[in-house]
């Protein structure tokens, strides 16, 4: 049984793109208006949101048939899962007891300039005291907590785009015979 969804794949991809733009706008307001500097894990989450938004936008503009839609959905699912993993790690760091919090490390620019990419990524994912700081909350969730919720929502959206059988649009299609 297929539960009808009142949206087309294009509209759902556009919705995903708009949500990513909203997340990035919120991140920039928190950084430049509220003065909250992003830690390395925050920056990785932003990169995941931007990549995800780019794939959603391309999918909305391209509006492919079922196979293409599923390929875009798999890409979105993978990016959202990686973003959720980074956000989950960030939330975990924030909930460590104070004596277990890793020491504050160098900035993202220094890490990327000094170390090879694989080593830099390992250092960034390890996190630091900067990443464990709880500077802002809304309804009891920190910024990484809300980002984790958003990535879970993006995973759900990508799964809908992946497995739901959308009805074919009406009208003539290429290759149909007229009688």
pLDDT at 150 over 90: yes
| CB 94, CB 144: distance < 8 Å | yes
pLDDT at 117: 74
| CB 8, CB 160: distance < 8 Å | no
- Stretch 23-31: mean pLDDT: 91
Instruction: Give the tens place of pLDDT for each residue, 72-122.
Output: 999 999 999 999 998 988 888 877 776 766 665 666 666 777 778 777 777
Q: Which of 171, 173, 169, 158 is nearest to 55 (CA)?
A: 158
pLDDT at 128 over 60: no
| CB 79, CB 55: distance < 8 Å | yes
Domains, the chain, in order of start with CATH, read: 9-163 (1.20.1550.10)
94 vs 60, higher pLDDT: 60
**Lookup: tokens for 88:** 């989950």
Q: What is the pTM of this model?
A: 0.75
Give me the chain's average pLDDT, please. Answer: 80
171 vs 54, higher pLDDT: 54
* Three-state helix/strand/coil letters over 86-103: HHHHHHHHHCCCHHHCCC
Report the range of poorest mean pLDDT among 12-26, 69-83, 93-107, 140-154: 93-107
């Amino acid at each position: 049984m297929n539960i009808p969804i009142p949206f087309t794949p294009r509209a759902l991809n556009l919705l995903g793109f708009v949500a990513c733009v909203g997340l990035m706008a919120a991140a920039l307001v928190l950084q430049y208006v509220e003065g909250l500097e992003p830690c390395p894990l925050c920056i990785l989450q932003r990169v995941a949101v931007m990549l995800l938004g780019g794939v959603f936008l391309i999918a909305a503009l391209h509006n492919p048939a079922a196979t293409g839609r599923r390929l875009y959905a798999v890409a979105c699912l993978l990016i959202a899962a990686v973003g959720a993993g980074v956000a989950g790690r960030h939330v975990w760091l924030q909930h460590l007891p104070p004596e277990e919090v890793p020491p504050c490390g160098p900035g993202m620019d220094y890490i990327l300039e000094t170390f090879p990419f694989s080593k830099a990524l390992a250092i960034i994912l390890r996190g630091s005291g900067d990443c464990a700081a709880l500077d802002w909350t809304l309804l009891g969730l920190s910024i990484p907590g809300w980002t984790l919720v958003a990535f879970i929502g993006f995973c759900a959206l990508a799964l809908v785009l992946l497995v739901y059988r959308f009805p074919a649009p009406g009208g003539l299609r290429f290759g149909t015979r007229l009688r």
